[in-house]
Structure 1
Amino acid sequence: MNKEKFVIEYELKSVSPALLWPYIGTKNGLSDWFADEVQSDGKLFTFFWNKTSQQAHQVVMRTGLYIRFHWLDDEESRSYFELRITTSELTGATMLAVTDFAYPDELDDSRDLWDHQVETLRRKLGV
């Protein structure tokens, strides 16, 4: 069974892209909402949750726009997770687009996890 790609967009109304970027593009920012702690050694990132850790390789980054990671323990080489800043054409609001991959029977859980993580980000940003 192959993983399926999914994208979720979150509107962050009163947040500028310049304010959002440090939260998604730096290890300190990611440790504020995505993981309990984040360490990096070049493009190798280690994310800590409670007593477990998981490593990811930073595949690509365009400062101020997006960052993409691939989990080292993921056997599917084409899968990744990406955090991308966009602007709504309709409202002009800042958007965070999350792209991830999950097995079909885990899609709902994966979406719920992102919803929870982004809710933490919203609280950190004060929106």
Structure 2
Amino acid sequence: MSKKVLYELEFPVRCSPGILYEFLSTPAGLQEWFADKVDFRDNVFSFSWNGTEEEAEVLEQEEDEFIRLHWTHAPKDEYFEFRIQISEVTNETILVVKDFAEKKEIKDQSQLWEYQVKDLFHRIGN
């Protein structure tokens, strides 16, 4: 099995960092766009999609800046992260998604994230 590599996607978003962070870090916010059902207990999110359930542990987070999660079934050094940055040039809010995938799967995984983020933007009126 080939080793997964870290890749990064950037999405400009018309939304304040505070509002965006709520959609990225709370069960209610994540349930709006990321999964059908989301629960949070003991620093672990439980995500459900069509009856399939996955768990992700919160590794690190800073309010209005980022949240880093680790799928409990994945290797310890892999994670996915939602980071909020402000462009120094345009003062625009940017959502940065970091994730791991095998090199040949990065394009497909990127398209999946783009679909998910498009749903997020629709929910926040972007």
State the TM-score, normalized to the length of structure 1.
Answer: 0.95
Q: Which runs of 5+ in 1 are unaligned?
A: none
Q: Which runs of 5+ in 2 are unaligned?
A: none
Instruction: Return the alpha-carbon distance in structure 1 between the equivalents of residues 118 and 111 of structure 2.
Output: 10
Q: Is 1:84 paired with 2:83?
A: yes
1:122 matched to which residue of 2?
A: 121
1:108 matched to which residue of 2?
A: 107
- 1:18 deviates by 1.5
Instruction: Return the alpha-carbon distance in structure 2 between the equivalents of residues 34 and 40 of structure 1.
Output: 14
Number of corresponding residues: 125
State the TM-score, normalized to the length of structure 2.
Answer: 0.96
Q: Is 1:20 paired with 2:20?
A: yes
Instruction: Return the alpha-carbon distance in structure 2 between the equivalents of residues 41 and 48 of structure 1.
Output: 14
User: What secondary structure is seen at the aligned counterpart in 2 of 1:113?
Assistant: helix
Q: Is 1:72 paired with 2:72?
A: yes
User: What secondary structure is seen at the aligned counterpart in 1 of 2:78?
Assistant: coil
- 1:42 deviates by 2.0
User: What secondary structure is seen at the aligned counterpart in 1 of 2:3?
Assistant: coil
- 1:19 deviates by 1.5
User: What secondary structure is seen at the aligned counterpart in 2 of 1:67?
Assistant: strand
Identity %: 36
1:7 matched to which residue of 2?
A: 8
Q: Return structure 1 stretches of 4+ with deviation > 3 angstroms.
A: none
**What one-letter code is carried by the residue in structure 1 that aligns with 2:103?**
P
1:38 matched to which residue of 2?
A: 38
1:48 matched to which residue of 2?
A: 48
1:63 matched to which residue of 2?
A: 63
